[in-house]
Amino acid sequence: MKPDTIIWDLGNVLVDWNPRYLFNKLFTNKEEQDHFLAHVCTDEWHRRQDGGRPVAEATGELAQQHPGLAHYIRAFYARWKEMFGGPITGSVALLAELKDRGYRQYALTNWSAELFDETRPDYPFLEWFDGIVVSGAERMTKPDADIYHVLLERYSVDPARAVFIDDREANVRTALQLGLHGIVFSTPDALRNELRKLDIL
């Protein structure tokens, strides 16, 4: 069956996000920055906020553990918007094209609910979706299958007729296990080619 539904990840698929956009301004020593992001404000730490932990609680606890780095830790969420490089224009163009072709389109994103609400107005194309499932609001994150089930059940999506796009292989693996078509995002041009293979474009 030809797919009729597209499910998008947001970060680094439609929106360019990288903590280094901010921390390049704050660190003069790259090795210190690398150590900070690898061992203090880590992906694992940030994922807990994606899963619903309040950012103020997370910031306060981590700053107490690393008082000498408290200035940088507090900047992580206080200057959140400086981590964004803007929309990934080629992907947004595809989103618009698929919308014009009548496909149902949803977003499934690992994102703190409070930060998503703060950031959403900056990206008007987020209003094009038929629905968005935000991990922080559900208190669960990809690649756990439960959050995929939330989207599939909430919006009555048939996995066999849905395509899931994400930049993380682990997240795509879960989608494949649930019976969706899966695409690991690298570039908008590569994504367009994959969608053509599925006879979507």
Prediction pTM value: 0.96
Cα–Cα distance measured from residue 201 to residue 198, given in angstroms and rounded to the nearest whole number? 8
Which residue matches tokens 């703190």? 112
Residues 96-105: pLDDT tens digits? 999 999 999 9
The enclosing H or E element of 57 equals helix 55-65
Residues 6+ apart with CB under 8 A from 169: 184
Structure tokens at 183: 């695409």
CA-to-CA distance for 88 and 97, rounded, in angstroms? 14
Burial zone of 14 (CB within 10 Å; 0-12 exposed, 13-18 middle, 19+ buried): buried
> Which pLDDT score, from 0 to 100, does residue 19 have?
98
Q: What is the pLDDT of residues 129-140, one digit of tens each?
A: 999 999 999 999
Q: Is 188 exposed, middle or buried (0-12, 13-18, 19+ CB in 10 A)?
A: middle
Q: How confident is the model at residue 180 (pLDDT cuts 50, 70, 90)?
A: very high
